[in-house]
Amino acid sequence: MLLDTHTHLYTEAFKDDIHQVIKRAKQKGINHFYLPAIDSGYTKDMYDLKKQFPEEMHLMMGLHPTSVKENYLEELIHVEKQFANHTFCAVGEIGIDLYWDKSTLETQKKAFKHQIRLAKKHNLPIVIHCRDAFNEVFEVLETEKSEDLFGIFHCFTGTYEQAQQAISYNMKLGIGGVVTFKNGTIDAFLHTIPIEHIVLETDSPYLAPVPYRGKRNESSYLSIICEKVALIYNIKPEEVAKQTTKNALQVFKNSQI
């Protein structure tokens, strides 16, 4: 069994063939999908997908850093209101993104800290988005580090040293399609990281693995990522699937599967 720990199946990219996408994933042994939130504009879409596939979909709630705009306080209120009426498996995806907009850094930090504290309040993991912002993300994590801080460093693409630092904050490393890229770099040192510290993800519809790079990603491609990780660790794909599933369930301890 494999778990896709990060997939945006509720977005427009899948509106025409979601049933076929789920069917293809199940044929590859992928029966559970963890959906990170983006902002209030997608909340209904997430709930609608959960209604269609109540056993398979596991929802997170949070404000994505690229959606941290002038109305971010309203968005954070929306996030908190959802917790009053729904059960979630994590607070995410949250974090800092300096690729698209550096001008909102201070606001992104505030939103990130606020949501980390929300996760602690609800005893939930966080799922971190970090793009061009390792130092800034680590700065926030350092101020918030505690035994009740834990989660996943989604789409990890950092260095060995940054991997060690992320792990020191009780984070698993989310490994996705980038591990199959020739210029992905993480495949050079991933084998030195104990496999107990990683989980598998697709980030569909983004970051499709080779040979689908540049095309729409989907959860069935998680099997390709699993096979690549197996090569890196020099173990069988079945062992990767078993261990990374165990790791994911340690993080998402309140999701029923």
- Taking only the tens place, the pLDDT of each residue in 132-172 is 999 999 999 999 999 999 999 999 999 999 999 999 999 99
- The backbone torsions φ and ψ at residue 55, rounded to the nearest 5 degrees and listed phi first, read -85, -30
> Cα separation of 178 and 155, whole Å?
8
Cα–Cα distance for residue pair 96/85, rounded to 1 Å: 27
Tell me the per-residue pLDDT of 47-56, one tens digit each, with 9 for 90 and over: 999 999 999 9
Treating both helix axes as pointing N-terminal to C-terminal, what angle do 222-233 and 237-251 enclose, rounded to 10 degrees? 110
Cα of 137 vs its chain's centroid, Å? 15
In tens, the pLDDT along 67-100 reads: 999 999 999 999 999 999 999 999 999 999 999 9
In this predicted structure, the answer to whether residue 177 has a pLDDT above a threshold of 90 is: yes
Give percent of the chain with pLDDT exceeding 70: 100
Q: What pLDDT, on the 0 to 100 scale, is given for residue 253? A: 86
DSSP secondary structure letters along 144-177: H-STT--EEETT----HHHHHHHHHTTEEEEE-G
* Alpha carbon distance 65, 75 (integer Å): 11
**pLDDT exceeds cutoff 90 at 184:** no
Please calculate the CA angle 21-88-253 and round it to the nearest 5 degrees: 95
Tell me the residue type at 193: I
- Could you give the CA distance from residue 224 to residue 228 in angstroms, rounded to a whole number? 6
Question: Which pLDDT belongs to residue 165?
Answer: 97
| Mean pLDDT lowest among 82-86, 226-230, 237-241 | 82-86
Task: Report the mean per-residue pLDDT for the chain.
Answer: 96
Give the N- to C-terminal CA distance of the chain in Å, as an integer: 11
Burial of 54 (0-12, 13-18, 19+ CB in 10 A): exposed
Q: What is the CATH number of domain 2-251?
A: 3.20.20.140
The neighbour count for residue 187, using CB atoms within 10 Å, is: 17
| Percentage of residues of the chain with pLDDT beyond 90 | 95
pLDDT higher than threshold 90 for residue 183: no
DSSP string, 9-68: TTSGGGTTTHHHHHHHHHHTTEEEEEE----GGGHHHHHHHHHHSTTTEEEEE---GGG-
